Amino acid sequence: MINRNIELPKFERQGELIWDIPKNYKKGMNVPARIYATEKLLKDMDLAVFDQITNVACLPGIQSRAMCMPDGHSGYGFPIGGVAAFDLQEGVISPGGIGFDVNCGMRLVVTNLTYKDVKPNIKELVDLLFKKVPSGVGCKGFVDLTKDKFREVMQNGAKWCVDNCYGWKDDLAHIEDEGCIKHANPDKVSEKAINRGINQLGTLGSGNHYLEIQYAGQIFDKEAAAKLGIHNKDQICVMVHCGSRGFGHQVGTDYLKKFTEIMPSYGITVPDPELACAPFQSKEGQDYYHAMACAANMAFANRQVILHRIRECFSSVFGTTAEELNMNLVYDVAHNIAKIEKHNIEGKNKEVVVHRKGSTRCFGPSRTELAPIFRKIGQPVIVGGSMETGSYLLLGTDKAAETFGSTMHGSGRTMSRTQARKQTKGEKLQKDMEKRGIYVRTASYSGLAEEAGFAYKNINEVIETMDIAGISKKLVALKPIGNIKG
Amino acid sequence: MPYKFLEDEAIADIAFEAEGKNLNDLFQSAAEATIVSMADPATIKNNITKIITKKANTIKELLFELIEEIIYLKDKDAIVFHSVTVEVNEEKKTCTATLTGDDINHETQALRNDVKAITMHYYTVEKTTDGWEAHIVLDI
């Protein structure tokens, strides 16, 4: 019923890891497209990635090139791993370039505990976290909010949490944009979105979202890692992956429909309905940006209150305070977002709207937006792998200017959820993982099977790609010992 | 089966094709595929009834609106569904869906995916020689 004749592009190879698709690949491309990948990762990418990234290159006002990171796989409109910057005056904003789960992102917390301290308590700890951090279908959060309070969350993000005793003051400096995107305006958010989101603060959700207990398996730069509180191998960290839940999705759906309606009035046509967009400076474009900021702030707040619960659980299990356990936030970073940032475009410093969809900001030390501690080492980047294979903490570099300060967000799927379910059962996977030293609790066994390690690309190869390209540098490899799967 | 999940599409999410000999059947098939994606209906009691009424400019928009509303109800009221029936008025571009279900209970229900949105990704609703077909991708 659907025609998907996608032609494999004739890539123009630029060195070992860069594959350019020239403007003449497809009618309407305003700029070329670029894929960062090893030859193997490129071959393993589904053809739709190349179709989608060259569709992105057709959008009005796009600057320099449309890019896809090595974890790229097909998404809606943009591929996952997609990065594009648009002129602030002539360009557009597109929900399809941000993702429905606005500000889906990663958070990493350090402790002063070691593998030996935690391993004997891992079941008690994971069971308690599973009980205290709601996950799975339709889960309700543990923060009771009135609509007025929820508006405050939308406007202030993680700061609202710290002001309301769900965090430490120092946490804010360790969050992208201090956990609050400016210009959030709750008046631009529908009642439907508010009704979906008001009970979701403090929930993991489902799909590929998780909370994981990890230990430092390898430290690549001891001096820089120490600055972030990771001093030794075997040190215990906690990683959280979640976003703005149904709230962000409703914001995305509302504006996708609105943009589909109004695009013709601006003379815009797009090659894929999921690329529906509006001029950034138009009323509709600004309305979406202000609503998206609300969803982004809700996601920062969501991860912040989850951190509060993590600290409470560790404190309970280990019989001491979270302060005594040095449970400091390493960093929190978005990987589904649009931001106004200054970048060098063809020799000129220019403000642009950078869309990152399944891509993480990875600013180098020279970026003035970073807190002082990161001006010495670069911005921490948290990349989640599969629950079986481990994850990474990286640092952004100044060379990342060539990707508008962006790198990969995860390992990227290679297999559909249905295929993964056919290859294993959740109950079997849970037992197998426990034998390998990873204790998992899940809200859905079918969901667990869908997240099996074999359904993902090799995280090491994805990380190496951007490390060798000089965009983001490996800092710590993190290995899982306990996981809560939404 | 009036709907079929597609293995090779939307690798991070859920894709399905639904069909019906008329619009009532098509809408019902698509709604069933959506509620089955959220939870196993066999484990959901029918203690709650919800009625959805929608109007749109086209049949394609109407089906989109219906699926979106089912997803919305799941989050707003924290419920999952046992059954759904749909009646469509093709001329007026309206539909009424009656859903039965229950409050979400992680202990007693086989919950599957927290479906968050219907997408426009390869979204189609087409009349065929045998009736109607739709292709839908749900974001989870």
pLDDT for position A2 = 46
- The answer to the question of residue B139 being in a domain is no
pLDDT classification of B8: cutoffs 50, 70, 90? confident
- What does CATH list as the number for A12-91+101-414+456-485? 3.90.1860.10
pLDDT classification of A224: cutoffs 50, 70, 90? very high
Among B5, B114, B137, select the one facing A207 at the smallest CB separation. Answer: B114
Among B10, B78, B120, select the one facing A138 at the smallest CB separation. Answer: B78
Phi, psi values for residue A127, rounded to 5°: -60, -40
CA torsion angle A347 A71 A303 A442 (round to 10): 180
- The answer to the question of residue B12 being in a domain is no
DSSP SS3 for A145: coil
pLDDT for position A54 = 97
Q: Do A276 and B120 touch (CB under 8 A)?
A: yes
Among B71, B120, B140, select the one facing A274 at the smallest CB separation. Answer: B120
CA distance A415 to chain B (A): 6
Query: Inter-axis angle of helices B59-77 and B23-38, to 10 degrees?
Result: 30
Give me the CATH number covering residue B72.
3.55.10.10
pLDDT classification of A28: cutoffs 50, 70, 90? very high
Measured between beta carbons, the chain B residues lying within 8 angstroms of A206 are 113-114, 140
* Best residue in A103, A249, A409 for a mutation probing chain B (most B CBs within 10 Å): A249
User: Would you list which residues of chain B are within 8 Å, Cβ to Cβ, of chain A?
Assistant: 5-14, 17, 38-39, 68, 71-72, 74-76, 78-80, 104, 106, 111-114, 116-124, 126, 133, 135, 137, 139-140
- The answer to the question of residue B72 being in a domain is yes
Among B8, B71, B117, select the one facing A416 at the smallest CB separation. Answer: B8
- pLDDT surpasses 80 at B129: yes
Q: Report the share of chain A in percent with pLDDT over 70.
A: 99
Q: CB pairs below 8 Å between A and B: how many? A: 129
pLDDT for position A1 = 40
Give the pLDDT mean for A230-242.
97
The better pLDDT of the pair A376, B8 is held by A376
Q: Do B74 and A138 touch (CB under 8 A)?
A: yes
Choose among A422, A461, A358, A410: nearest CA to B8: A422
| Predicted complex ipTM | 0.89
- pLDDT surpasses 70 at A372: yes
The residue of chain A nearest to residue B127, with distances taken between CA atoms, is A1
- The answer to the question of residue B16 being in a domain is no
Residue B28 sits at the vertex; the CA angle it makes with B27 and B29, to the nearest 5 degrees, is 90
DSSP SS3 for B2: coil
Across chain A, mean pLDDT equals: 95
pLDDT for position A422 = 87
pLDDT tens for each residue of B9-49: 777 789 999 999 999 999 999 999 999 999 999 999 999 99
- pLDDT surpasses 50 at A466: yes
Measured between beta carbons, the chain B residues lying within 8 angstroms of A253 are 68, 117-118
**CA distance linking residue A417 with residue B84, whole number of Å:** 25
* A333, A381 contact by CB (below 8 A): yes
Q: Which residue has the tokens 């928009």?
A: B61
Q: Report the share of chain A in percent with pLDDT over 90.
A: 88
Q: Do A415 and B78 touch (CB under 8 A)?
A: no
* Number of domains, chain B: 1
Give the pLDDT mean for A441-452.
88
Measured between beta carbons, the chain A residues lying within 8 angstroms of B135 are 1-2
Query: What's the domain range around B103?
Result: 22-116
Give the pLDDT mean for A127-141.
92
- The answer to the question of residue B97 being in a domain is yes
CA distance B86 to chain A (A): 22
**CA distance linking residue A478 with residue A437, whole number of Å:** 14
- List of residues 6+ apart from A185 with CB closer than 8 A: A290, A291, A293, A294
The better pLDDT of the pair A6, A381 is held by A381
- The answer to the question of residue B122 being in a domain is no
pLDDT for position B140 = 87
The residue of chain B nearest to residue A206, with distances taken between CA atoms, is B114
Measured between beta carbons, the chain B residues lying within 8 angstroms of A486 are 114
- pLDDT surpasses 60 at A311: yes
pLDDT tens for each residue of B56-97: 999 999 999 999 999 999 999 999 999 999 999 999 999 999
Choose among A384, A184, A164, A394: nearest CA to A289: A184
Give the pLDDT mean for A381-387.
93
pLDDT tens for each residue of B96-124: 999 999 999 988 999 998 999 999 999 99
pLDDT tens for each residue of A42-82: 999 989 999 999 999 999 999 999 999 999 999 999 999 99
Q: Is A409 a catalytic residue?
A: yes
Q: Which of A73, A209, A241, A409 is catalytic?
A: A409
Q: Where are the beta strands (DSSP E) in A346-464?
A: 348-357, 359-361, 380-383, 391-396, 406-408, 439-442
- First-last CA distance in chain A: 34
Q: Report the share of chain B in percent with pLDDT over 70.
A: 99
- pLDDT surpasses 80 at A408: yes
- The answer to the question of residue B134 being in a domain is no
pLDDT for position B1 = 59
- The answer to the question of residue B7 being in a domain is no
